[in-house]
Every structure is written in C-alpha cells, then in structure tokens.
Amino acid sequence: MSGISHQSAAACLVVLRIGADHRVGGWAKTARKDRDWDLVLSPYQDIPDLPEFDADAVIPLPGGKWEALHAIFTDRPEMLAGRALIWLPDDDLEGSADTVARLFAIARAQGLDLCQPALTPGSAFSHFVTVQHLLTNVRYTNFVELMAPLMTPDVMRAALPQMKGRAGAKGLDFIWHRFVRAPAGARVAVIDAAAMAHRRPLGGALAPAMAEKGRDLEDERAAFFKAHLGPRYYRTLSHGHDGPLGRGLVGRASVTLAGVLTVLLTPALWRKDALARAAKTLWAQITRDIWQGTR
C-alpha cells in the first residue's frame, strides 16, 4: 500500500469495489492533484477504463463487496490508521467531485460517525429515508444503507467481523448504528446537501453470481436478521435535522413535514412503489409506535 499518500492525519479514504459496468466516471476519476482524499480501487472484473482512474492503489479481488472489504482491511489494518473517515460506495453512484468533497466536509463538521449521501429523487431506492429531502441539509436517522456508507475507523473496526464470508452483508446496515459514539442520535445521518444519483436498477448481478456458487443472499439476510434483530420489526426513520427548518434532534414533526413536502413536490416520487415506501416511513415517524432509534 505504498501508493497511499496520507496527505494529512485526518485524510479520508475511499475504497471502491468496481466492475466493468460501473457508473462512477465523474467523481471517481478526479485527478489526484485535485482531491484531498485517497482512492483505492478493488476490481472484481477487468475494467476497460481502469487507466483513467488516478487511484492511489489497486487491489483486485473476486467475490462480493463486503467479503472483499473484510479481506482488504483485515490484511491491511494500517489503511485505517490516521483516517478521519472511510467511504465504501457502490460503483453505480453518480456525482461530482464537489459533491464528494462536500459530503466529507459536512460529515466532519457535524461530527458524524456513520452517514451517507442522500439519493437524488429520481434514483432507484429501497428506503425512503435515503432519498434527498427538501428543506433539510442533514437528517439524523437510525439507518445508513450498504450502498454508500461513510464511517469512522472505529465503526469500521467494529463492523468488520460482521462482513466476514458475507458477499452481500444484507442486514448489516440495520445494526451498525450500534457502533457509534454517544449521543448516538447525533452521530448517524443522511446528508441531503450532498446528494448523488443511483439509476441502475436495484438487485444487480451479485445475487445470480452467488446463486451459481450455491449461495443465497436472501437466506444470508434472514439468518443475520434472526441472529441480530430477532422478531422485532424495524422501520428506517429520520428523527431530527439541520437545515432551513432549523436544527434539532427532537425534530420529528418538522423532518416529517420535509418528507411530505418532498413527496408532494417531486413527481419522480409519485410512482406507486415509491409512494408506498414513503408513506410507510412518514407514518412511522408520525406515530413512532415502532421507533427503534439510537437516541
């Protein structure tokens, strides 16, 4: 790993698992001289445009994202030393270098231990809590998705054992908020002011690839949920915010209002499936009868 520069004691590190059909041509191809974060590429296929990336290091590995990340950080623990944050995005997040710089700056300024960029409203998404809201810059949540987690080295070290041998690591994003510092409710967030697009259909090629090897990702997910969440029903929620509506951890009413306005004013969210996901989240925030947050 001699290519890693450690420009400063608080440098951020991006480790990008990448395939041939990636969609990260913007931010990830930022020239080394134009960025203040380190980039490690971990290809799982041949990448035709690999020379266009000004990466600090390249670590080819087969398999799924999370078992590969487990191997990378277990074999090279020094990669976490002196880091402020570690970002582990999927290879289909589209955005600019400015957006990534803003993501890192906000996370550090807010003292976040675990966060992610919001997804632009036209994105393919699984959880409404990850979709960019109007009138908020940062939303404190009880959930950060596997798609693009940004975390401190301490959270990464705590989460590493849960990645071992798990291609998809499904379910890990429902528990890793447990590894942040107190007050936990102020350490986990979705950053609306640094939104990125996710246009590739959900699901991807990992499940079929693992099925060919006799591994079922849904069975993996079910076993993980049984072991770590038991019979409890978990709803992903926003419980506070920082933005034009004000600031506060006790901000369910205004952050829910922001969610409602986002749906009403964003035609891209009027699809039946998107509306259903949004409605479930917003109703849970209003009733809070199934809240399982981190405060």
Superfamily of domain 12-287: Spore Coat Polysaccharide Biosynthesis Protein SpsA; Chain A (3.90.550.10)
- What CA–CA distance (Å, rounded) separates 4 from 1? 6
Q: What tens digit of pLDDT does each residue of 220-254 get?
A: 777 777 877 765 667 889 988 887 766 655 567 88
Q: Pick 131 or 286 by higher pLDDT.
A: 131
Cα atoms in the Cβ-side hemisphere of radius 13 Å centred on 257: 9
| Confidence at 63, pLDDT banded by 50, 70, 90 | confident
pLDDT at 83: 95
Compute how many other C-beta atoms are within 10 angstroms of the C-beta atom of residue 139: 27
Closest CA to 93 of 156, 30, 16: 16
pTM over 0.75? The answer is yes
- What percent of the chain is predicted at pLDDT more than 90? 66
| Confidence at 148, pLDDT banded by 50, 70, 90 | very high
Which of 128-137, 204-213, 256-265 has the lowest average pLDDT? 204-213
Residue ranges covered by each domain of the chain: 12-287
- What percent of the chain is predicted at pLDDT more than 70? 85
